[in-house]
Chains A and B, each alone.
Chain A
Amino acid sequence: MSKKLLLKNDHIPNIHQLAVYRAHGGYAVLENTLKNSNPDHVLEEVKKSGLRGRGGAGFPTGLKWSFLARPEGVSRYLVCNADESEPGTFKDRYLMERIPHLLIEGMILSSFALGAKTSYIYIRGEYFYVARILEAAIAEAYAAGLLGKNILGSGFDHDCYVQVGAGAYICGEETALLESLEGKRGNPRIKPPFPAVAGLYGCPTVVNNVETIAAVVLILELGGDEYAKIGIGKSTGTKLISASGHINNPGVYEIELGVPVEEFIYSEQYCGGIRGGRKLKAVVAGGSSVPILPAELILKTANGEPRLMSYESLGDGGFATGTMLGSGGFIVMDEDTSIVKNLYTFARFYHHESCGQCSPCREGTGWMEKILHKILEGHGTMQDIDLLWDIQSKIEGKTICPLGEAAAWPVAAAIRHFRSEFESYVQNPENIKDIKHYYRLQN
């Protein structure tokens, strides 16, 4: 089920240049839409396509757009969330690096649909070189009359800016992103009001992921109904997956939603199987914050049906036996991986990235990291495992933004599915101190 839409031209040399991009059909959709269509039609097509947000939450994009308040005389904004900070996710970087014009075309089209005269691409600080690529592409677009006043003679004005963040995971949360974009401390806002009503500078704002905005171009190219035929059920279209970990071919893959997980991991077309012929142990299917699943549950659902790469199938069984598609950060772990060590790495990350605004996340993330460190060092007790479970339950759902959940879910899932491993760290501390074991060296 290989289907390339977003990345169909990524192999073409110099596709990042405007001339090459246009030679391969780039901006044709924009030209056609601006001449022959209207904003409502674009919104209708996006609704029909069933496109769901590619940033992680999977909220239907058309619905999100229709929530945008449209008061008279108030500016509206489109903000592209390019603060791709979820560990294990690197698809947006690839897309922006290779085909920056696809994102820009999507930005103009989406802004046309939303009636936004200004849009911003908020990109994470670590991607400064990608920001340069985008800025060069935007300059090319301005020079070609694709941005600025009266785009292609249509009477539609639009300005697009790139804003580089300072490198904070929290600024990927949409309201923290807006705060940061306004030049303030990147703390999430308390909702409601939602950005669709009061977002950037207090004006109605839509915040979408890079991949979501790029997909708008393809939806208008194919037509919403055609796009909806791709994929499976309510998971329509294609999705970029960032595959990493112990696999033979790590990288960014575009898949049609609905590919079986087993095929994705073992097929030569995608991950190419586990490195060194080892056995699969566990997979984090959608970026570090989604629950980890052991091999038997990631390949098959609890009912014994094959697990597919789709929003519904990965979510099958809830968090007891399922997980989430998330942002598509597919991290594969082989049989030699220590789940406890891996969890410690995640916990350290969330502790470091907590903004400190609300108490459960600020205090709890640090506590969980300390306990995991204690267990890893061989000083853990059985009570510590229960305590970890209790702390994550005290954070989950009690915080302002989803960072609390992002920190709690991996801990909960690791204990749920791999409790025996935690217990073995507690019961056999001498094994940990064995340096060879610690660094997974072969005897």
Chain B
Amino acid sequence: MPLVTIDDIPVEVPEGTTILEAARMIGGDIVPPAMCFHSKLKTSGGYCRTCIVKVEQGSAKDPRPIPKPVASCRTTVMDGMVVRNITSPENLEARAGVVELLLINHPLDCPVCDQAGECHLQDLGYEHGKEATRYEFARREFEPTDIGEHIKLHMNRCILCYRCVKVADQITDGRCHGVINRGEVAEISTYIEKAIDNDFSGNVIDVCPVGALTDKTFRFKSRVWFTKPVDAHRNCAKCCGKVRLWYQGEEVLRVTARKDQWGEVEDNTDGTTAWICNECRFDKKNTTDWTIEGPSKIDRHSVISANHYETSLRNIKADTLKMMGSVPHGVKVELGTGALDPNNLHK
């Protein structure tokens, strides 16, 4: 098995693993951000260039460095490869450049965008971007359009990651969704706004890393951080039926596929990807439609987790115990995690 060193951390990975996947196996801060790569979609990745890394040593056999930064999501590791991500200031600077370029035509309308809170571009901007842009010209503009009955396309927000195009190619049959025009004015389109009439078209919403493709049944209903994710399932003839319900009070505001810590749709136990059908996504908005499994586990360092059901409950429980001064022996309490922490009360 090839041995690759990423930011001085060695890891042994199976043949054919990409640098990004190897970094994810290590985990933590050294994982490059990825906007266009989606492990469940074939041939995705390579477009956004945010995951670029510096290859200091190509392989044990050929130790020459690769002269240009490479897209870690599309570069396979070689035995003895030495990669630098966050330990290379030059690489971080290059990535900050990509982030700046990705944002120059983005409307930055987060306050009115449904994706805010679970937007990869927001996270990217916070973590890898600069505090201000140097762009002073008019941004490119498109009119929002409807793609079918349930999906809204805000092309202004799109970063052309091609993920939805890959979904249209690989998950739905008879693609009527692609990219038209070129360069800066290239746009995702269903050609003359032809509706996507397919049982799995809603998955384009789940793969969109930004707020370009949103669920019309959820638009402007709530900020995502006010909703509570719960895993549930039903017997569905079309799909696996395993979903995430987003509750506000007793009401199911939205249904999505289950996503992992990288924001990618999870796998089923049989190894297939847990894409969900439009019926589950758009038409089953009653608790009675579903068998509830329990609060969703959210690993992602997202704003959702700040108000997360499970974490909040655990925090409240811990805080309560602490306030009562009766922490049972052997129970580890994380301090200062919840609103009930006495230290936070004055805030």
| Residues of A380-430 contacting chain B, CB below 8 A | 387, 390-391, 393-395, 397-400
Q: Does B68 contact A (CB under 8 A)?
A: yes
Residues in chain B near residue A352, CB distance under 8 A: 183
Report the minimal beta-carbon distance from A124 to chain B, rounded to whole angstroms.
Answer: 15
| Residues of A330-385 contacting chain B, CB below 8 A | 351-360, 362-367, 370
What is the CA–CA distance of A355 and B67 in the complex, to the nearest angstrom?
A: 24
Question: Are B183 and A351 in touch, CB under 8 angstroms?
Answer: yes
Question: Are B160 and A397 in touch, CB under 8 angstroms?
Answer: no
Q: Does A168 contact B (CB under 8 A)?
A: yes
Question: Are B183 and A365 in touch, CB under 8 angstroms?
Answer: yes
Question: Are A359 and B183 in touch, CB under 8 angstroms?
Answer: no
- Given known contacts A190-B71, A351-B184, A400-B47, A359 and B98 CB-to-CB distance under 8 angstroms: yes
Question: Are A394 and B183 in touch, CB under 8 angstroms?
Answer: no
User: Which of B100-108, B199-207, B270-278, B284-292 binds A?
Assistant: B100-108
Q: Does A185 contact B (CB under 8 A)?
A: yes
Question: Are B186 and A363 in touch, CB under 8 angstroms?
Answer: no
What is the CA–CA distance of A365 and B102 in the complex, to the nearest angstrom?
A: 12
Report the minimal beta-carbon distance from A391 to chain B, rounded to whole angstroms.
Answer: 8
Report the minimal beta-carbon distance from B335 to chain A, rounded to whole angstroms.
Answer: 42
Report the minimal beta-carbon distance from B38 to chain A, rounded to whole angstroms.
Answer: 15
- Given known contacts A359-B101, A360-B98, A394-B101, A370 and B137 CB-to-CB distance under 8 angstroms: yes
Q: Does B94 contact A (CB under 8 A)?
A: yes
From B46, B47, B184, A354 is in contact (CB under 8 Å) with B184
Q: Does B152 contact A (CB under 8 A)?
A: no
Residues in chain B near residue A360, CB distance under 8 A: 49, 97-98, 101
What is the CA–CA distance of A391 and B183 in the complex, to the nearest angstrom?
A: 17
Question: Are A359 and B69 in touch, CB under 8 angstroms?
Answer: no
Residues in chain A near residue B45, CB distance under 8 A: 190
Q: Does B220 contact A (CB under 8 A)?
A: no
The interface size bin for chain B is 20 to 34
Question: Are B183 and A366 in touch, CB under 8 angstroms?
Answer: yes
Q: Does B179 contact A (CB under 8 A)?
A: yes
What is the CA–CA distance of A441 and B306 in the complex, to the nearest angstrom?
A: 66
Q: Nearest residue in A to B102 (C-beta to C-beta)?
A: A359
Q: Is the interface of B mostly helix, strand, loop or mixed?
A: loop
Question: Are A398 and B183 in touch, CB under 8 angstroms?
Answer: no
- Given known contacts A353-B183, A356-B184, A362-B186, A394 and B97 CB-to-CB distance under 8 angstroms: yes
| Residues of B180-227 contacting chain A, CB below 8 A | 181-186
What is the CA–CA distance of A399 and B94 in the complex, to the nearest angstrom?
A: 11
Q: Does B244 contact A (CB under 8 A)?
A: no
Report the minimal beta-carbon distance from A166 to chain B, rounded to whole angstroms.
Answer: 11
What is the CA–CA distance of A252 and B153 in the complex, to the nearest angstrom?
A: 50
Q: Nearest residue in B to A400 (C-beta to C-beta)?
A: B46
Q: Nearest residue in B to A393 (C-beta to C-beta)?
A: B97
- Given known contacts A363-B102, A367-B135, A394-B94, A355 and B183 CB-to-CB distance under 8 angstroms: yes
Residues in chain B near residue A357, CB distance under 8 A: 47, 160, 162
| Residues of B129-147 contacting chain A, CB below 8 A | 134-135, 137
Q: Nearest residue in A to B105 (C-beta to C-beta)?
A: A363
Question: Are B183 and A185 in touch, CB under 8 angstroms?
Answer: no
Report the minimal beta-carbon distance from A380 to chain B, rounded to whole angstroms.
Answer: 12
Q: Does B74 contact A (CB under 8 A)?
A: yes
Question: Are B182 and A354 in touch, CB under 8 angstroms?
Answer: yes
Residues in chain A near residue B47, CB distance under 8 A: 357-359, 400
What is the CA–CA distance of A170 and B181 in the complex, to the nearest angstrom?
A: 13
- Given known contacts A190-B74, A398-B69, A362 and B137 CB-to-CB distance under 8 angstroms: no
Q: Nearest residue in A to B184 (C-beta to C-beta)?
A: A366
Residues in chain A near residue B135, CB distance under 8 A: 367
| Residues of B33-62 contacting chain A, CB below 8 A | 45-50, 52
What is the CA–CA distance of A366 and B101 in the complex, to the nearest angstrom?
A: 10
Question: Are A398 and B48 in touch, CB under 8 angstroms?
Answer: no
Q: Does B255 contact A (CB under 8 A)?
A: no
Report the minimal beta-carbon distance from A241 to chain B, rounded to whole angstroms.
Answer: 29
Contacts beyond the supplied A356-B182, A359-B98, A398-B94: 5 A-B pairs with Cβ under 8 Å: A352-B183, A356-B179, A356-B185, A394-B98, A394-B101
12 A-B residue pairs with CB within 8 Å: A352-B183, A354-B182, A354-B184, A358-B46, A359-B47, A370-B137, A394-B97, A397-B67, A398-B97, A398-B98, A399-B49, A400-B71
Interface residues of A (CB under 8 A from B): 168, 170, 185, 190, 351-360, 362-367, 370, 387, 390-391, 393-395, 397-400
Q: Sort A-B residue pairs by CB-CB distance and give the 7 closest, nearest first.
A: A394-B97, A356-B186, A397-B68, A363-B101, A354-B183, A190-B46, A366-B184
